[in-house]
Amino acid sequence: MSETDIPPRETAGRIENVLEALLLAADGPLSLDQLHKLVGEEFGLSRRELRERLARLAERYADDACELKEVASGWRIQIRPEYSAWVGRLWQDKPPRYSRALLETLALIVYRQPITRGEIEDVRGVSVSTNILRTLLDRGWVREVGHKEVPGRPALYGTTPQFLDDFNLKSLDQLPPLPEVKDLDQLEAALARLGQGAVPAQAAQEAVAQESAPEAPSAAVPPEATLH
Amino acid sequence: MSETDIPPRETAGRIENVLEALLLAADGPLSLDQLHKLVGEEFGLSRRELRERLARLAERYADDACELKEVASGWRIQIRPEYSAWVGRLWQDKPPRYSRALLETLALIVYRQPITRGEIEDVRGVSVSTNILRTLLDRGWVREVGHKEVPGRPALYGTTPQFLDDFNLKSLDQLPPLPEVKDLDQLEAALARLGQGAVPAQAAQEAVAQESAPEAPSAAVPPEATLH
Amino acid sequence: MNAEPAVSEHRDSGAEKSIPKVRGQPLVKLPDDLYIPPDALEVFLETFEGPLDLLLYLIRKQNLDILDIPVSKITEQYMEYIQLMRELKLELAAEYLLMAAWLAEIKSRILLPRPPAAEEEPVDPRMALVRRLQEYERFKTAAETLEALPRVGRDLFLAQARPDVARSATPPPPPALRELLLALREALLRAELFARHTVAVEPLSVRSRMSRILERVERGPARFEELVDPAEGRAGVVVAFVALLELVKNGLLEVFQETAFAPLHVDRPRARECSPMEET
């Protein structure tokens, strides 16, 4: 846990703590660019120095349940594979259900994409939990499609082809327009048109679930999610 | 790979790592019960021993950006407040702000639960908009806990464990008590000034008696009830 | 305390009639202790959480203890406000009028000599008012305390991590479309999105195309032709074009051209201090 030869001792550990805090709270991996923008200037760190800090933070995790890992889109702190079986237990007990908060968030991304987290929160009137976005990203239904050019450059989210596959749609146009969603009768009619009446297309869903199991970074929704 | 074939001796740090993995992966706090169900048997730990492990895990976080915290519905790992400002930079969009009307309504539900909408309106002197109650219900801070047996059977509202979790509290007792009303002497003196001496002490006593009932917020609400 | 603009604005806006009057006198000056944002009189009522809040304000304004309310004076001031609101034709919640009536009643009961026979009703009528004010003030304070507490999502953030691959966890099947749309319906009804946005005819393909274009441009500037594929046919081109326009309108993209007749390029906008387009 303790560093040996870092000159200004307190700041040093502090920088790594700030990095740790950011990585543990973020929705997904943070790129070196993002991290540099978030903390580089404040601490007077070059990109290279930042990389060194990250390496040092990674060392700190040597004996932990987590590890700091660089993936394609940046750095993230993740549970080590040897603990994933335990984590799986979290989601085994109860058949996980998608919470209303998750569904609303997904629906807003579908209909209002590209949309920022803040804009979702504006409509929903409540904050969107980091894990909801993570689940949607993990599930492969949603992805970052860019950044809004306002201070902070918040990520913009949009749907993926996987979303269409999993929901058995050929294109988003098949979904009823908003006014029809509002009217319950029209909504039912639209669902009937899609063959998605009261009974969900179970077979299709199962097929998809199996198909995507091998490689999708598939994090199930833990039971708590249904509480929100 | 498998947890089971590791000799008990070496498992010491490992148990804490497993706890850490579970807590970091869960969407919300995990109760002692849940944790016990997840790992207790495997490691042959009693609830009390599990609590000790949690305490040890908490110590491990002493120099970290995170802390292990017990809130109403269990344990969770959270970013230490001193790093919040950094983390806030991740999201440019500000968290939702709540109106004074909403906060006053919430305060009444917190301190006077179970309480009806009408009773809230009596104290606030204005009607409570449906939107405010809906936001509080949606946010999961408040819920219907029953109906008052008076004509119309109005709903009674109370707070939820989610409210405590979100406000970083373990129980309602941790909230500061309601500000005191002026005590009897002061009130009588005031009455004398006000009423040109015409006010009988009895009225004053009645007034005070009604106000001075102990008014710590009462946790009338069992946690399980939030799971629907 | 510059309330003048609000009033003169009314004067400018036309006829004599629009000058507010209080008790028949044209109002040239707002009451001294009346704080109103100069050009937003309408904000006034929202500033107060009801008649009790307004009364508390009036009392505090004079550094008085609730217990020492000079009812007559406060009542007068309160009435002035109410009158002013009415003259300005601001919508006044019924509660304010109710309070006005109550204050008037209290005042009259204090002023009128008490008939000697009315032994049964010796309680000072102000007592009830004092109690209500006190009670309200406690919760007003409690609300402030709650607001100051650290809150998850605002001051507190949860530390979360997941395994790279959760092997043992089979993902739950996707929710039925029906569930998704019903959830959306709720969210939209709640937000009254329909009232504020005219998105009725916007085809969803435009929305998804917006995402695709953004994603492409995120990797670097794109030529206009790259984003509009004639193979998609007329409808496809129109969708791409509408999506582009929408993105530009929202300040998410910029279209530029090196010289006249040069190919059109599309790129992320150069970061600005502040986006002129906050609205989606």
- Averages of pLDDT over runs of 10 residues in chain B (228 residues) are 46 84 90 91 89 93 91 94 89 78 95 94 89 86 92 93 94 87 61 49 43 48 36
Euclidean distance between CA atoms A61 and A63, whole angstroms = 6
Contact C166 A87 (CB under 8 A): yes
More confident site: B33 or A190: B33
Residue C116 touches chain B, beta carbons under 8 Å: no
Q: Give the lowest-confidence range in A17-31, B85-99, C24-38, C150-164.
A: C24-38
Q: Which of A38, A126, A222 sits opposite B139 (nearest CB)?
A: A126
- Given a cut of 80, whether residue A141 has pLDDT beyond it is yes
Kindly list the partner chains of chain C, i.e. chains with 3 or more CB atom pairs below 8 Å: A, B
pLDDT tens digits, one per residue of C78-100? 888 777 777 766 666 778 888 88
Give the Cα separation of C64 and C81 in Å (integer). 19
**Separation of alpha carbons A65 and A186, rounded Å:** 50
Q: pLDDT for C212-255, tens place per residue?
A: 888 888 888 888 777 777 777 777 777 787 888 888 887 788 87
**Interaxial angle between packed helices A100-112 and C204-218, expressed in degrees from 0 to 180 and rounded to the nearest 10:** 80
Q: How distant is the Cα of C189 from the closest Cα of chain A, in angstroms? A: 7
Query: Is there a contact between C271 and A153 if contact means CB atoms under 8 Å apart?
Result: yes
Residue A201 pLDDT > 70: no
Same domain, B200 and B165: yes
Q: In 3D, which of B144, B136, B141 has the Cα closest to residue B114?
A: B144
Instruction: Give the whole-angstrom CA distance, residue A217 versus residue A135.
Output: 10
Question: By residue range, what is the domain housing residue A74?
Answer: 3-79
Question: Which residues of B touch chain A, with CB atoms under 8 Å apart?
Answer: 1-3, 13, 17-18, 20-22, 24-28, 37-39, 63-66, 77, 79-80, 83, 86-87, 89-96, 135, 138-140, 162, 226-227
Name which of A65, A119, A127 is nearest B96 (Cβ-Cβ). Answer: A127
Among C160, C172, C193, whose Cβ lies nearest the Cβ of A96? Answer: C172
Instruction: Indicate if the pLDDT at residue A18 is higher than 90.
Output: yes
Domain boundary among A79, A98, A119: A79
Q: Which domains does chain C possess?
A: 36-112+124-147 (no CATH), 177-279 (1.10.10.580)
CB contact under 8 A, C159 and B187: no
For residue A32, the domain's CATH number is 1.10.10.10
Pick from C155, A149, C278: nearest CA to B80: C155
Shared domain check, A65 and A109: no
Same domain? A69 vs A115: no
Residue whose token pair is 């309160």: C78
Q: Report the SS3 class of residue B17.
A: helix
- Residue pairs between chains A and C whose CB atoms are closer than 8 Å: 253
Number of domains in chain B: 2
**Residues B120, B109: contact at Cβ < 8 Å?**
yes
Inter-chain CB proximity A78 and C164 less than 8 Å: yes
Contacts of A141 in chain C (CB under 8 A): 174
Query: Quick check: B207 and C131 CB within 8 A?
Result: yes
Residue A181: which of C181, C190, C251 has the nearest Cβ? Answer: C181
Domain boundary among A60, A79, A98: A79
- The verdict on a CB contact (< 8 Å) between B27 and A1 is no
Both structure tokens of B17: 């790592």
CA distance B199 to chain C (A): 6
Judge if B131 and B201 occupy the same domain: yes
The mean pLDDT of C24-41, rounded to a whole number, is 49
- Residue B48, both tokens: 């009390």
pLDDT of residue B8: 47
Residue B9 lies in a domain: yes
ipTM value for the complex: 0.67
Residue B147 lies in a domain: yes
Say if residue A119 is in the same domain as residue A220: yes
Is any Cβ of chain B less than 8 angstroms from the Cβ of C273?
no
Residue of C nearest to B94 (CA): C154
The answer to whether residue A57 is domain-embedded is: yes
Beta bridge partners of A143: A158
Q: Looking at the structure, do residues B103 and B39 belong to the same domain, yes or no?
A: no
Cα–Cα distances in Å, from B14 out to A2, A64, C42, C168?
20, 9, 63, 20
Q: What pLDDT does residue A178 have? A: 79
Q: With a cut of 50, say whether residue C190 has pLDDT above it.
A: yes
Domain end, chosen from B46, B79, B112, is at B79
Q: Kindly report the pTM of this predicted structure.
A: 0.64
- Do A46 and A107 lie in one domain? The reply is no
Please report residues of B whose CB lies closer than 8 A to that of C69. 194
Residues of B in Cβ contact (< 8 Å) with C189: none
pLDDT tens digit sequence for A154-187: 889 999 888 888 887 888 888 888 777 878 888 8
Is there a single domain that holds both residue A94 and residue A195?
A: yes
Which residue of C lies nearest to B217 if distances are taken between CA atoms? C142
Query: Across the interface, do A151 and C273 touch by the CB < 8 Å criterion?
Result: yes
**Chain C window 12-71: which residues touch B at a Cβ cutoff of 8 Å?**
49-53, 65, 67-69
Task: Tell me if A24 and B92 make a contact (CB, 8 A cut-off).
Answer: no
Residue A95 predicted with pLDDT over 60: no
Which residues of chain B are within 8 Å of residue A116 when distances are taken between CB atoms? 92-93
- Phi/psi region, residue B152 (left: phi>0; alpha: psi -120 to 50; beta: rest), is left
Per-position DSSP letters for C11-68, written without gaps between them: HHTS-GGGS-EETTEE--S--TT----TT-TTHHHHHSSSHHHHHHHHHHHTT--GGG
- Say if residue C15's pLDDT is above 60: no
- Residue of higher predicted confidence among C67 and C50: C50
Per-residue confidence (pLDDT) for residue B129, from 0 to 100 = 85
Alpha carbon of B107: minimum distance to chain A alpha carbons (Å): 18
C-alpha dist (Å) from residue B151 to B147, B148, B154:
10, 8, 8
Q: What is the mean pLDDT of chain C?
A: 69
- The verdict on A36 and A99 lying in the same domain is no
Answer whether residue B71 is part of any domain: yes
In this prediction, residue B68 carries a pLDDT of 95
Is B84 part of a structural domain of the chain? Answer: no
CB contact under 8 A, B78 and C159: yes
My answer on whether B74 and B7 are in the same domain is yes
Strand partners, B155: B147
Measured CA to CA, the distance from residue B179 to residue A227 in angstroms comes to 33
C-alpha A216/C-alpha A193 separation (Å) is 30
Contact list in C for residue A66 (CB cut-off 8 A) is 161
Q: Does a structural domain hold residue B102? A: yes
Q: Which residues of B touch C113 (CB under 8 A)?
A: none
| Same structural domain, A32 and A106 | no
- Taking CB atoms and an 8 Å limit, are C67 and B111 in contact across chains? no
Q: From residue C101, how far is each of A223, B121, C105, C190 by CA, in Å?
A: 54, 18, 6, 36
CA distance, residue B77 to nearest chain C CA (Å): 6
| Cβ within 8 Å, pair C158-B103 | no
Residue A85 lies inside a defined structural domain of this protein? no
Residue B12 located in a structural domain: yes
A63 and A115 housed in the same domain: no
Residues in chain C: 280
